[in-house]
Amino acid sequence: MTKISKKFETELLKYFQKETYCSNKKLLDVDYGFTTIPQRTKDFLKNLTFENNYKISSDTFQSSYENNKQIIEDFFISLETSYGTNSRDIFINTSKNDTVQKTLDTNEEQVKVIKKFILKKYSSMYTNFRKTYGKRYIEMTGDNICPYCYRSYINVIESDEGTKSITPDIDHFFPKSRYPFLSVCLSNLIPSCLFCNQRAKNDEDFYQSSVYPPEKIFDEIEFDYDVYLNKIYIKNYNYLMSKPEYEMHLNTFLIQETYATHTEVLKSIINKHRKYKKSKIEDLTKNTIGLSSLDIKKVVFYEYEFMNKKRELLYKLKKDLYKKIVK
């Protein structure tokens, strides 16, 4: 789960549990082109499994990634018990732009109303959170690099006068279009770059297979190269593709294809290695008092020897190539 201070976490929970976001109150304001909602549907919306006293529960808001799946299943079990086994698919596939028949005399139409009600409420909560707390939230997480690709910075940029700021995206690991009740669950909010969030992932459903936290995949990937073809590739690609969770990540973000374009890293390491061969470093050692060949090597390859994992773009690529070429 994304790390923020307990004080800020408490502040956010209080914000999400204010009367404005009370389901019982929201039911009085519903307007989908009809006048009344069937009583059993109202009762269902007043007893949502992820809420307590008509507001998001603290357990949902503070839920871990592992427990998010249980929250999803608990909700759908409740929905299917009341509206039939196909209600899950109806709920997931219903969007905010779908029309609902005025009569509401079928389970399908009532499930659509439930989805639209939850989607409207929680989308509003997230939108207001993004405007009010988004910049502060991203800064507090301490994340500097997109965890999905590890090749783009996600810092908050502000003008010197403080009149304008540019903030990175916040992705919903489990998409809010399908699981809107996780829209403001902390562990479901992933600061990310625009390319990964809006181009690569978009509404891809990571529910069945996913790596969490997403940067974990870079602990498993082993980059390699072919010097004659000037090609970068993932050495253990076939193994990773045999694991559904890694396959999903690699395919969604095109990790192998994207990293293959960074031949400038490969060229830089190879050229520096050729320039400072072992004999060259030994010569430097002879003319430098008090420094060993290892010390000289660390100075020459300082940018690779002392990389900060949390702040170095393409960290794993640079680490693996440096290890294979130089060490």
Rounded distance between C-alpha atoms, residue 288 and residue 286, angstroms: 6
- N residues, the chain: 327
Rounded distance between C-alpha atoms, residue 76 and residue 73, angstroms: 5
pLDDT of residue 2: 63
pLDDT of 29 higher than 80: no
pLDDT of 34 higher than 60: no
322, 301 contact by CB (below 8 A): yes
Give the pLDDT confidence of 85-137 residue by residue, as tens digits.
Answer: 999 999 999 999 998 887 788 999 999 999 999 999 999 999 999 999 999 99
Which of 43-52, 136-145, 156-165, 239-248 bottoms out in mean pLDDT, i.e. has the lowest?
A: 156-165
CA angle 232, 203, 189 (to 5 degrees): 85
pTM for the predicted model, two decimal places: 0.92
Give the pLDDT confidence of 6-15 residue by residue, as tens digits.
Answer: 999 999 999 9
Give the pLDDT confidence of 142-162 residue by residue, as tens digits.
Answer: 899 999 999 999 999 988 887
16, 125 contact by CB (below 8 A): yes
The alpha-helical segments, DSSP class H, found in 163-225 are 194, 217-220
Nearest to 23 by CA among 144, 153, 166, 125: 125
Q: Position of tokens 């773009």?
A: 313
Give the pLDDT confidence of 174-229 residue by residue, as tens digits.
Answer: 999 999 999 999 999 999 999 999 999 999 999 999 999 999 999 999 999 998 89
Residue 12: CA count within 13 A, CB half-sphere: 25
Give the pLDDT confidence of 265-307 residue by residue, as tens digits.
Answer: 999 999 999 988 877 888 888 888 778 888 888 889 999 999 9
pLDDT of residue 282: 81
